[in-house]
Structure 1
Amino acid sequence: MFQERKVIILTGANSATEKAVLALTIPPQHKIEISKLDLSSFTSIKSFAQGLLTRDSTLPLNLLILNAATIKSTLSKTEDNFETTFQTNHFSYFLLIHLLLDRIIWTSEQQQQRADPFISRIIFVSSSLHKQSEGHKNFESLDVENLDGSKGYDGLLFYRHSKLMQMLCFNQLNKILEREAKEKVSLIAIEPGFIPQTDLSRESAIYIKLLMKFILPLAPFARTPEQGGMVIVYASTSPDLEKQSGLYINKCCKVDKASEDSYKEDLQKNLVEY
């Protein structure tokens, strides 16, 4: 897969991304580009996908990593009038997949003609939080009638439920692709573990930001960005996962199970229809 020249496109056009890229040692045959993409805007997603698809009709798309996420302290809406957490963490993922799927499948078909065993992969960066609430005394089931927060809003609960919705639709999409594009797209979900140093709390209260930056990284259950990144790299490149789809990989790079709810057929179909 990585013998040929590869173009890696990072979506996060800011100074932190540019600084991180400059610190990398990039082999001369490869290239990293930084592109603007705002998952809280359907217009931005469509513009990004259109630009990617029209720049070169023969540009392969081997790997799509869906890593961006947010959690909000207070209820907010996007320009598309959806609750921000659900749109950023869930709806936008599937819009982007919808827009790029034909190119992803085409890439696998081209590789199969060259007897390349690697089929294109779509990596969902999930979270163990989507299943931790099961059985908890304060557990609240996903309410599809309250996706806009009109019946009440809790930032952490909406984050958990956005990740549950992601896995519900992940499992349903995998069934569709297994039926209609078997061995042309591999869907893999991963949980990188709890990584306080990420920018997930960027819109939280100041005390949460301080807690995430200075206290929680010292917790025994906390993981570093490098450790979380290793799970993404494994899911993206490991030959052990070739021609497998619908897998859920835990923070130890082992095949695991998502939440029990995420495998329920009725919930999957209801959300797809929604």
Structure 2
Amino acid sequence: MKGTVRYLAGIAGQSGYGSKSTAEQVTQDCSSLPPYLTAIVTGATSGIGAETARVLAKRGVRIVIPARDLKKADEVKRNIQRETPNAEIIILEIDLTSFASIRKFCSEFLSLGIPLNILINNAGKFSQKLEFSEDKFEMTFATNYLGHFLLTELVLEKMIETAKQTGVEGRIVNVSSVIHGWVKKDHFSFNDMLHSKYYNATRAYAQSKLANIMHAYELSKQLKAINANVTINAVHPGIVKTGIIRDHKGLITDSIFFIASKLLKSTSQGASTTCYVALSSKTKGVTGQYFADCNETRCSSLANDDYEAHELWKQTRSLIEKRLRVQLRP
């Protein structure tokens, strides 16, 4: 009850920010950022991702936009540069549902020879019907989790190297959702998530978002073990009327949106937690945590289960290596 009141009233938490804080507000104290930071932001062609890219660019960060729709990406680039003329925006093609496309993107990015300080795994998919990716995996899971897992693995060495050379902490942000808590341990099956026989769209989405948190939790431990100056955290952006919500047309009506409008965040409020975790000095050294409304908060017990998180990581890595016939980082 207290949490609901705090959310509705926008009461600030320990960080000094709350549910009503915008992405620009939470990054106002980031004017003294190290120069020449580079961030990859997936899903930056619309919604929270586009706002995240805009605000980071405004704070002087070079933005790399991986995009399937290059026309939309170019439109976002033009909009950002109208506001911030000196912003450096790089667009590269990617399809997060395709392992081959992700590998091609990473190869092209690494060939640029630029550093990588920030990776924001933001892109999201809510598939109402059972669909399969190019690699024959359930589409929501393939997009939200598998694609981001592979992307992270392929650029992680560059992030570790950049942090070591510059002394600037690298940061990875996995955009998750509070809906992850709907998943119970008895129904969390890796094989079922890959090839669901009894598909339920909401369950598939919740499972993928749970996997995003578990990925952050497990990888944070691995990075600590090798003393890498790179952190990884998961965030819940809040409920925002983005493209994912619009995919529910016919199920969630405009009248319901009108009634629930007081609970919905603006796009800038939705991007605030991502921007805060990515840039704020207050999150330096913080890793393996879950944030909502710009404050560390609790996630489900399953999301913090050491064994389950490690098993998920092992199964995912094994799957990708077998499919691609390559070995990922040691």
Q: Same fold (TM over 0.5)?
A: yes
Residue 23 (1) aligns with residue 79 (2): yes
- Partner Cα distance (1:218, 1:242) in 2: 39
Kept in 2, the 8 Å contact 1:195–1:217? The answer is no
Map 1:77-92 → 2, pairs under 5 A: 77-92=132-147
Alignment gaps of 5+ in structure 1: 113-117
1:193–1:223 Cα contact (<8 Å) kept: yes
* 2:170 maps to 1:120: yes
Tell me what 2:10 maps to.
none
Distance 1:265 1:188 in 2: 15
Q: Equivalent of 1:171, from 217, 220, 224?
A: 217
Change in CA separation of 1:153 and 1:140 when aligned onto 2, cut-off 3 Å: farther
Contact 1:72 1:85 in 2 (8 A): yes
Q: Distance in 2 between matches of 1:67 and 1:214?
A: 28
1:222 alignment partner in structure 2? 264
Task: Say which of 93, 110, 120 aligns to 1:36.
Answer: 93
For the Cα contact (< 8 Å) 2:235–2:274, is it kept in 1?
yes
> Is this contact kept in 2: 1:70–1:201, CA < 8 A?
no
Larger RCO of the pair (alpha carbons < 8 Å, separation 6+): 2
Matched, 1:67 2:122: yes
Instruction: Report the CA distance between 1:203 and its aligned residue.
Output: 4.9
CA-based RMSD: 2.1
Post-superposition Cα deviations, 1:203-225, rounded to whole Å, max 9, x if no partner, equal 55x413x62x6642651221111
From 241, 244, 251, the equivalent of 1:200 is 244
* Residue aligned with 2:302, SS: helix
Q: Does 1:161 align with 2:216?
A: no
Deviation at 1:17, TM superposition (A): 3.6
Residues 231-251 of structure 1, C-alpha deviation per residue, up to 9 Å, x if partnerless?
Answer: 11111110011122112111x
Unaligned segments of structure 2, at least 5 residues:
1-32, 37-59, 316-330
Aligned residue pairs total 256
Which residue does 2:63 correspond to in 1? 8
Do the aligned residues in 1 keep the contact of 2:212 with 2:234 (CA within 8 Å)? no
Assess, with a 3 A threshold, how the Cα gap between structure 1 residues 143 and 39 changes in structure 2: closer, same or farther: same
User: What residue identity is the alignment partner of 2:140?
Assistant: T
- Contact 1:125 1:192 (8 Å CA) reproduced: yes
Structure-1 residue corresponding to 2:320 = none
CA distance in structure 2 between the aligned counterparts of 1:101 and 1:179, rounded to whole angstroms: 15
SS in 1 for 2:171: strand
Deviation at 1:92, TM superposition (A): 1.0
Alignment of 1:123-272 (within 5 A): 123-132=173-182, 141-182=187-228, 184-196=229-241, 198-201=242-245, 203-204=247-248, 206-208=249-251, 211=253, 215-216=256-257, 219=260, 220-250=262-292, 252-272=293-313
Percent of residue pairs identical = 27
SS of match in other structure, 1:189:
strand
Q: What TM-score does the superposition give when structure 1 sets the normalisation length?
A: 0.86
